[in-house]
Structure formats: structure tokens, C-alpha cells
Amino acid sequence: MTSTTDELDEVAEQQRFDALIADEQRIEPRDWMPEAYRRTLIRQISQHAHSEIIGMQPEANWITRAPSLKRKSILIAKVQDEAGHGLYLYSAAQTLGITREEMTDALIEGRARYSSIFNYHTPTWADMGAIGWLVDGAAICNQVPLCRASYGPYGRAMVRICKEESFHQRQGFEILYELSHGTPEQKRMAQDAVDRWYWPSLMMFGPSDDASPNSAQSMAWKIKRFSNDELRQRFVGMCVPQFEALGLECPDRDLRYDEETGRWIMGEIDWNEFSEVLAGRGPANAERLRHRREAHDDGAWVREAAAAYAQKMQDRRRFAA
Ligand SMILES: [Fe+2]
Ligand SMILES: [Fe+2]
């Protein structure tokens, strides 16, 4: 008897959920949602949060070596923004019933994924330009549609994040612009950084649509709004005139625009490299995780002190009552 009532309830809840999605309404933490929807969001939002946090490392590497006080303060602000993005996203994931500790443990124990792009090294200052322009640029293409994601806390976090990402992209472009209009050596440095970051930034959109099994379900749930290939097309279209403004060459020598289909025809992306980095065998995977683990251990006293202070305040209120 109870199970039949439960089943009927579940059918009604599913119908309500489907109607909200169909009507472009938002799903909020208090609402019933299918377990697979919840799990998909926890995976996606926590991976996204981890990417913001790990993504601080390749750029933090240059804070002490930035070429001027102005560049240093801009870079500090940018890296700090990424920490904030991580925090909004961890908070959004927590509304789905996972704890911050569980997410952090999964990351530092190597069970969670984060964007492969952050497993590349940053040997020159021009890498700060290439990361801002290409990596944050690709992130914007991916993330602007996420502002309309069906899950409320995720969509709302993305609105603020996207505003900050566009500052990140402009500061990267400006670094490259100055280098590419500087001495021949500076221009070479800019071209070299762009050559190294261009292909990995195209990989950020993920495999082609036919090799991306979860995409269709995410699109049906209106978490994802455009396919990986559509987003990659948009990104390339955005980069082409900017390459011209920078006076730099696009590393994809086969790139051309097909007037008939209105699409960019790109050279072959090295998916082998992508899966190697994804499998933990990229240039800096081990270093990134080691650093994150050390930072977590070094921060233990801060977490303990905050917890002790919160307990003291709670006790004080209890005695006063
Ligand atoms: Fe970010
Ligand atoms: Fe960013």
C-alpha cells in the first residue's frame, strides 16, 4: 500500500519536474528532482569548482615575477577571482546534498576530475596572456549559456562568474597585445605561448558531439544549451579577428571558413593528447595535486581555529540565554 502511494507520488513529482523544465522554470534545492539529475549536477558543479581552484596554480606561479606593479596587482585580482568562483560553485554543489569535505577529499585523493587545461606548465610571462585570452575566453563560451542552466543555484553563480571572466579575458588579450607590439623577441614570446595554448583551449569544449555520450541528457535537462562542437565553432569565430588585431598567427594552418555551411573547418585536434592528460599523464597533473594536498594540510590550523571560535561563540550564547 505504502509503496504504491510512494510510486504515485514519484510519478506526480516527475511530472512536475518535467513541466518546470519544459516551461524554462528553475529547479531549486527544495524541489524534488530525479536522482540522475542531482548526481549529474553534483559531478558537473564540483568538477567546475575544482577547476577554478586548481586553475589558480599555473597563474599564481607568476605573481612574484610579474613584470610591473600594475601587472602584479591585476594578476593577484584575477587569481583571487578564481578562488571566489571555486567558493560559489562549492556552495552551489552543497545545496544538492554533498559536503565541502567530501568534494575536497575526492579532489586531493585524485578521485575527482578538473579541467585538463590546468595540467600544462607556464614557462613564460606570455603564458599569462595566452591563458587569459584563450583559456578564460573558452571558459566564457562554455559558461555564458550556463547562466540559463535549469538548476537555480548553478545558473545564478554563473552570472557573476561570467562577468569576472570577461575581465580575465581582456587582461590576457592586453598582455598579448603589448607583447606582440613590442620588440621582436617579445612578439616571438607571445606567438610561442599562443602556439602552446591554442590546441588545448579547443580541447576544453570536450570531444565531438558523437563521442560525447552525456551531452544529450544534459541538453534535455537544460543544464547544457549548446553542443560541444557548436561552442567550439563559436570560440574559433571569436578568436579569428582577435588574432588579426594581435598580429599573431593562428597555429591551426588548416583553419578556413566554409561559406556554404557557415562553419569553420578546423585542423585535426589531437584527442590522444587530451585523453592522456585526462588520464593523469599530462605535463603537470602530479604537481597540481601535490600542491593542492599541501595547501590543504597547511590550512588545517585555519579550519580548526575557525571551528573552535564558532564553538566558543555558540557556548557563550548558550550560557547567556
Ligand atoms: Fe573562473
Ligand atoms: Fe577566469
CA angle, residues 111, 132, 51, in degrees to nearest 5: 10
* Contacts by 221-225, CB closer than 8 A, 24 or more apart: 221/21, 221/37, 221/40, 221/150, 222/21, 222/24, 222/148, 222/149, 222/150, 223/40, 223/41, 223/44, 223/146, 223/149, 223/150, 223/151, 223/154, 224/145, 224/146, 224/149, 225/145, 225/146, 225/148, 225/149
Beta strands in the chain, from DSSP E residues, in sequence order: 256-258, 263-265
Q: Helices 136-143 & 152-180, crossing angle to 10 degrees?
A: 150
- As a 3-state breakdown, the chain gives helix, strand, coil percent values, each rounded to 5, of 75, 0, 25
Ligand 1 center to residue 6 CA distance, Å?
42
- pLDDT for res 320: 87
Which one of the ligands is nearest to 89 CA? 1
- pLDDT for res 7: 79
CA distance 276 to 85: 27
Ligand 2 center to residue 138 CA distance, Å?
10
Ligand 1 center to residue 144 CA distance, Å?
12
Ligand 2 center to residue 140 CA distance, Å?
8
What is the CB neighbour count within 10 angstroms for residue 84?
13
Q: Write out the residues surrounding ion ligand 1, Cβ under 5 A.
A: 52, 82, 85
- pLDDT for res 249: 98
CB 26 within 8 A of CB 210: no
The answer to whether residue 119 sits within a structural domain is: yes
CA angle, residues 244, 176, 145, in degrees to nearest 5: 75
* Parts of the chain with a pLDDT under 50: none
- pLDDT for res 3: 66
Ligand 1 center to residue 80 CA distance, Å?
9
Ligand 2 center to residue 164 CA distance, Å?
7
**In terms of pTM, does the model score above 0.75?**
yes
Q: What pairs with residue 257 in β-bridges? A: 264
Ligand 1 center to residue 137 CA distance, Å?
10
- pLDDT for res 2: 58
The answer to whether residue 27 sits within a structural domain is: no
Query: pLDDT digit string (tens) for 230-257?
Result: 999 999 999 999 999 999 999 999 999 9
Q: For residue 268, give the CATH number of its domain.
A: 1.20.1260.10
- pLDDT for res 293: 97
Query: pLDDT digit string (tens) for 9-44?
Result: 889 999 999 999 999 999 999 999 999 999 999 999
Which one of the ligands is nearest to 169 CA? 2
Ligand 1 center to residue 156 CA distance, Å?
14
- pLDDT for res 5: 75
Single-letter amino acid code for the residue at 58: P
Residue span of the structural domain in which 199 resides? 33-320
Ligand 2 center to residue 183 CA distance, Å?
28
- pLDDT for res 37: 97
What is the CB neighbour count within 10 angstroms for residue 100?
14
Ligand 2 center to residue 308 CA distance, Å?
34
Which one of the ligands is nearest to 138 CA? 2
CA distance 273 to 30: 42
The answer to whether residue 206 sits within a structural domain is: yes
- pLDDT for res 128: 98
- pLDDT for res 209: 82
Domains identified in the chain, total number:
1
Which one of the ligands is nearest to 52 CA? 1
- pLDDT for res 286: 95
